[in-house]
Amino acid sequence: MSSEFEARGIGLWRGDRCLCRELSFDLGSGTILQLAGPNGVGKTSLIRTLAGIGRLDEGKVLWNGEDARRSAAYLSELIYIGHHNGLKAHLTPEENYAFYRTIAHRPTEVSAEQALMRCGIAGFKDRPVALLSMGQKRRAALARLLAARARLWLLDEPLASLDNDGVELVAGLLKTHVSAGGMAILVTHQPIAIAGVKLRQLELGQTA
Amino acid sequence: MSAPFGALLGRDIRLAYRRRGELAMPAIFFVLVTALFPLGLSPQPELLRSVGPGVVWVAALLAGLIGQQTLFKGDFDDGSLEQLTLCPMPLELVALARVASHWLTTGLPIVLLSPLMGLLMDYPGEAMGTLALSLFLGTAILSLLGAVGAALTVGLRQSGMLMPVLVLPLAVPVLIFGAQAAAQAARAEDPAGALYLLGAMMVLGISLAPFAIAAAVRVSLES
C-alpha cells in the first residue's frame, strides 16, 4: 500500500519552545491516525501545520511525494476542521454549508438539507448559528465534511462538545470516508471506536 | 474562480445586512464629526467654505477607520479565515473580496452622504460632483490601506490603537490630494491633476495591496 501523505522530519517551534523534532510518519489510503498527548503538547499546532496554515520550522509535508505546502493538488484533497468551527454566527447552518460548498475545490452533490439531516441538526437549519448550542455548532461544522470530495480529513477535536449520539455520528462519517479509500488524522482525547478500522496512534511529547 | 469570489462577497454583504445597526456607525460618525465643526468654530459661511473640503475629508478618513479593525478579526476569531486560506481561490483574491465588501458597506455610504455634508459646510453646489468623486477614489484607497493594517494586527490581542497609528501616516498623501481636489473645485479651478493622482494611487493600491494583505494574513495565522 502506497502512502500518499508523508510527514518527514517535522520540527515545530513556538516562541522558544520546541514542540516536536524529527517527527516522521506516513498515511496511506484507508487509515486513520490519532494524535494523542497531554494538553499543550502541540497537537493543534501540528495539525494546523499539516493543513498548511501553521508555520513549519523544519522538515517537509509531502503529498504523493511532492511538497504539500500551498500546493493546489494537496489542498484540493484536504478538509480541515479546526478547533474553531469556521461558522459565521449571523448566518444559519444552511447558509454556512452552502458557502463552504461553493468555495470547495471539488463540491459534492449533497445538499445542505441532506448534510444537516445527516448531522442531526436539520431542525435548526434556518436559525442563526449564534443561537445554537456548542454541540450543535460542532455538528454544523462537521457537516462540511459532506460538502467536498477530499481524500484527507484533518480534524482537530472533532468530538468536542458532542453527545454520545454525536460521537456515533463522527465514527459513522469516518467509517464511510475510510471505506471509500480516504484517510484521516484526528486530534482527540476521547477513545473513538470505528467498526472494522484500526486506529494508529501517535503520542506527542515524548520526543525532545 | 469567480464563483468563490462572488460567494465570499455575497456572504460578507449578507452578514453586513444582518448587522446593519453596526453597519450604519461609520456613516453616522462621518455626519457627526462634520457637523461638530460649524458648532466648534463659528458658522460664518466664509470660514466654513475655506475649511470645508479639509473637514469633510478628515471626517471621512476617520470614519473609514472605524470598523476597519474588524475587517479580518471576525473571520480570524471564528476560524473562517483559516478555512479561506485553504479554498481554491488565491488568498490575494480573498483579500480583494473583503476589501470590496468593506468599501461597499462603509466607503460608499460616506461618498453618498458627502454632498449633504458639503451643503453643511457651504460648499458650492456645482463642485459637489468633484467632492464626491475625490471621496470615491479616496475611500477606496483607504479601504485598501486599512486592510493591510487590519491584516497585520489581526493576530494581536491588544491591537486597539495600533492599527490607526499604522495606517494614518500612510493615508496622508491621499488626504492631501483629496482635499486639494475638493478645494480646487470649490474655487472653480481645474482639479484634474489631483484627481489623476488619486486615481493612480487607487490603481497602485488595487494591484499591490492584495499581496501585502495576503502575506500579512498568512503571518498572522502562522503561530
Q: Order of strands, edge to edge, in the sheet holding A5-14?
A: A17-27, A5-14, A58-63, A66-67
Query: Taking CB atoms and an 8 Å cutoff, what residues of chain B touch A86?
Result: 78-80, 82-83
**pLDDT above 90 (res B199):** yes
* Collapsed DSSP state (helix, strand, coil) of residue B87: coil
End-to-end CA distance of chain A: 31
Q: How far apart are CA A5 and CA A22, in angstroms?
A: 16
CA-based torsion, A111, A181, A4, A23: positive or negative: positive
Q: With an 8 Å Cβ cutoff, is B21 touching chain A? A: no
Residue A87: list chain B partners with CB under 8 A: 78-80
The three three-digit cell numbers of residue A191, written as one number: 477513545
Look at residue A119 and give its three-state secondary structure. coil
pLDDT confidence tier of residue B79, bands split at 50, 70 and 90 = very high
Contact call for B84 and A103, based on CB within 8 A: yes
Using CA atoms, how far apart are residues B138 and A130, in angstroms rounded to an integer? 36
| Range in A147-156, B18-27, B97-106, B191-200 with the lowest mean pLDDT | B18-27
Confidence of residue B70 (pLDDT cuts 50, 70, 90): confident
pTM beyond 0.95, yes or no: no
Three-class secondary structure assignment of B9-26: HHHHHHHHHHCHHHHCHH
**Cell numbers given for B182:** 475638493
Q: Does B187 touch chain A (CB under 8 A)?
A: no
- pLDDT at residue B67 is higher than 60: yes
Count of H-run helices and E-run strands, chain A: 6, 9
Pick from A82, A95, A103: CB nearest B4: A103
Partners of A187 in beta bridges: A35, A156
The rounded distance, in Å, linking the Cα atoms of A152 and A75 is 9
Q: What pLDDT is recorded for position A207?
A: 47
CB atoms B87 and A105 under 8 Å: yes
* Least Cα separation, residue A41 to chain B (angstroms): 14
Place of cell 491633476: B193
CB pairs under 8 A between A and B: 77
Q: What is the nearest CA distance from B159 to chain A, expressed in angstroms?
A: 20
Closest CA to A79 of A173, A141, A152, A142: A152
- What DSSP state is assigned to residue A148? B
For testing contact with chain A, the best of B5, B86, B87, B223 (most A CBs within 10 A)? B86
Which residues of chain B have a CB within 8 Å of the CB of A85? 78-79
Cell 501616516 found at? B169
Q: What pLDDT score does A131 carry?
A: 94
Q: Which of B7, B15, B18 minimises the CB distance to A103? A: B7
Verify whether the Cβ–Cβ distance B222 to A53 is below 8 Å.
yes
B123 in Cβ contact with B141 (< 8 Å): no
On average, the pLDDT of chain B sits at 91
Distance CA B73, CA A62 (A): 31
pLDDT in tens, chain A (208 residues): 468 899 998 998 888 888 888 889 889 888 999 998 888 888 999 999 999 999 999 999 999 988 988 888 999 999 999 989 999 999 999 999 999 999 999 999 999 999 999 999 989 988 999 999 999 999 999 999 999 999 999 999 999 889 999 999 999 999 999 999 899 999 988 878 887 788 888 888 764 4
- CA separation, residue B33 to residues B37, B58, B166 (Å): 7, 9, 22
Query: Is B222 within 8 Å of chain A by CB?
Result: yes
Confirm if B179 and B53 have CB atoms less than 8 A apart.
yes
Which one of A52, A80, A86 has the shortest CB-CB distance to B80? A86
Q: Cα A175 vs. chain centroid, distance in angstroms?
A: 14
Closest by alpha carbon to B10, among B92, B98, B113?
B98
Q: How far is CA A38 from CA A48, A206, B36, B145, in A?
A: 17, 11, 58, 42
Banded pLDDT at B1 (limits 50, 70, 90) = low
E strand spans, chain A: 5-14, 17-27, 32-36, 58-63, 66-67, 78-81, 152-156, 183-187, 199-203
pLDDT of residue A198: 80
From chain A, pick out residues whose CB is under 8 angstroms from the CB of B84: 103
Q: Report the gap between the CA of A88 and the closest CA in chain B (Å).
A: 7
Q: Which three cell numbers stand for residue A18?
A: 520546541
Given a cut of 70, whether residue B97 has pLDDT beyond it is yes
Closest CA–CA distance from residue A31 to any residue of chain B (Å) = 23
Q: Each residue of B22-39: b (16+ CB within 10 Å) or e? A: ebeebbebbbebbeebbe
- All three cell numbers of B144: 485598501
Selected residues 88-127 of chain B with any CB under 8 Å from a CB in chain A: 88-89
Please provide the size of chain A in residues. Answer: 208
Q: Cell numbers of A52, please?
A: 498548511
Residues of B in contact with A112 (CB under 8 A): none
User: Residues B78-103: what's their mean pLDDT?
Assistant: 93
Name residue A150's amino acid: A
Distance (Å) of CA B161 to CA A156, B149, B156, B168: 33, 11, 12, 11
Distance of CA A99 to the CA centre of its chain: 18
Res B69: pLDDT: 80
ipTM value: 0.90
- Please report, in angstroms and rounded to a whole number, the separation of the first and last CA atoms in chain B: 29
In 3D space, the residue among B216, B219, B210, B214 whose CA is nearest the CA of residue B96 turns out to be: B210
Provide the CB-side half-sphere exposure for A29 (13 A, CA). Answer: 6
List of chain B residues whose C-beta atoms are within 8 Å of the C-beta of residue A51? 82, 86
